[in-house]
Amino acid sequence: MNQKASSSELNMNELVNSLMKQLEEKDRQMAELNQTIANLTETINEMKRKLFGRSSEKTSKQFNIDGQLSLFDTADNSQEISEPEMIQIASHTKRKPRATHDEIAKNVPATVVNLTLEGEDLNCPYCNTPMVEIGTKTVREEIKITPAKVERIIYVQHNYACPQCREDGESTIVQAPVPAALIRHSMASASAVSYVMYQKCINCLPFYRQEKDWEQLGVKLNRGTLASWFNTCAQEYMQPVYDRLHVHLLEQVVIHADETTAQVLHEDDKTPESKSYIWLYTSGAFEEHRIVIYEYQPTRGGYHAAKFLADYHGYVHTDGFSGYNRLKDVTRCGCWAHLRRYMFEAVPKKTKDTTQSPALTGLAYCDRLFGIERKLADLSADERRQKRLELERPLLDSFWEWVEKQNPLGGSKFAKAVNYALNQKPYMENYLKDGRCSISNNAAERAVKAYVMGRKNFLFHDTVKGATASAIVYTLAETAKVNGLNIRLYLETVMTKMLDYKNEPESILEDLMPWSEMMQKTCNLKKHSEI
């Protein structure tokens, strides 16, 4: 009997243990399912926000690092804040002031039309005595536009012969000099090609749309001809300027880098649907020369950036893309704007859950850093560096201490934000080393958007030559823009000067830099506002 009882108790224990294991497994599965549901719900809410909500990442309220609503300036976190004096004011709505006519068209040349009386109208209507002017007033202003005008220029060469030499039995004939053609056996001119480039790279008009535009101007140019003009002039006249801009970029202390996708239909060893890339490099916001360079490459391999920035030893601002780890002998700086975006996306979209979200605390840390940076924007580089160490260093220490204490659910957006912060920590504080560095990589983000907007319209490049030419023209156009030049006029001037100095282009390259004295006098937007 004892043996039977012991055997029964053993079976019972085994059954209990088996049931406990099953319950534990069920609990584990339930926890995983709940986590998956929470992650999917979070993803759905974020997709709804992107599809139907506002795209801005600005927050309507300011929160402190404890996730509570803050009534104080987020930039003054390092100072002890006293209770402000509270006063009551009447409620009112502040309207944005209307822009004046001078602000709307400050760079447009003005023509004054004097409205006067003449002849018999100058006589008094009552006594017929001639009246005298007693003053003037401006009654209104209007904007007049002259549409694009196309002219057909025909060069007729005149030949000359010496009559005296003819009498002596000699034949002396002299021909009038002929200006060099931009493209042999073509009707292309520097003004026409610059117009095509401006329309594509600035106004985002693909060649097939420009074809219709030219037809309205009375010229039947097909898209193939426009593309040929674009590619040929980019390679022959703008490539040397592009290369010189590259040299100047490598002389800067701070460079921002980014990349975006492109599609090239006819590319060796690749299908038309495969991705290629446009890489973007731009000088820092506090550098003397503003330079924006685009480069086409068939892949996203980090070795492209390493090759482009070979022999560079300054600061490079990037996002979290691991390909930039190939950069050698540079100080890589992370992007707090990307980290803030991760925190912003991790904040629950339902108001009742907002104050309980730890992501709100991370967002508040980022907002405080950006608030301090806005106040330091007008300082010199040395002063900015000193103030950063004084005001931002304690805040950064507090942020990393907070991040390391977090234990987010795996797969959640907050987990992605925390992991991004921890993975990028070696680079996120390097901007403190030099006052010319920025807290984010927004300079590159803004610059690459110019190409992205164009890509939404022309969709793809037909050939590698076309993609490379687009990178060159975008480089000159965007660099001209950030240097305050009239873009179309700058492109035309570059082609004209390079045509004049075709045998010795090196002698004119420095004068063709957008910041040169010649270009600032010739193409400055304030002096030449026409397209």
DSSP code per residue over 16-55: HHHHHHHHHHHHHHHHHHHHHHHHHHHHHHHHHHHHHS--
Q: Where are the alpha helices (DSSP H) in 376-441?
A: 381-391, 393-405, 413-428
Residue 279 three-state SS: strand
Q: Is 187 exposed, middle or buried (0-12, 13-18, 19+ CB in 10 A)?
A: middle
Per residue of the chain (531 residues), what is the pLDDT tens digit? Answer: 556 566 676 677 777 788 888 888 888 788 777 777 777 776 777 777 667 666 667 665 565 665 554 534 444 444 433 343 444 545 555 666 776 766 677 778 888 999 898 888 889 888 988 899 888 998 888 888 888 889 999 999 999 998 888 888 888 889 999 999 999 999 999 999 999 999 999 999 999 999 999 999 999 999 999 999 999 999 999 999 999 999 999 999 999 999 999 999 999 989 999 999 999 999 998 888 999 999 999 999 999 999 999 989 999 999 999 999 999 999 999 999 999 999 998 888 765 555 568 889 999 999 999 999 999 999 999 999 999 999 999 999 999 999 999 988 777 889 999 999 999 999 999 999 999 999 999 999 999 999 999 999 999 999 999 999 999 999 999 999 999 999 999 999 999 999 999 889 999 999 999 999 999 999 998 765 544
Query: In degrees rounded to 5, what are phi and psi of residue 262?
Result: -145, 160
Contacts of 376 (CB under 8 A, 6+ apart): 383, 384, 387, 388
CA 254 – CA 271 distance, rounded (Å): 37
3-state SS of 180-224? CCCCCCCCCCHHHHHHHHHHHHCCCCCHHHHHHHHHHCCCCCCHH
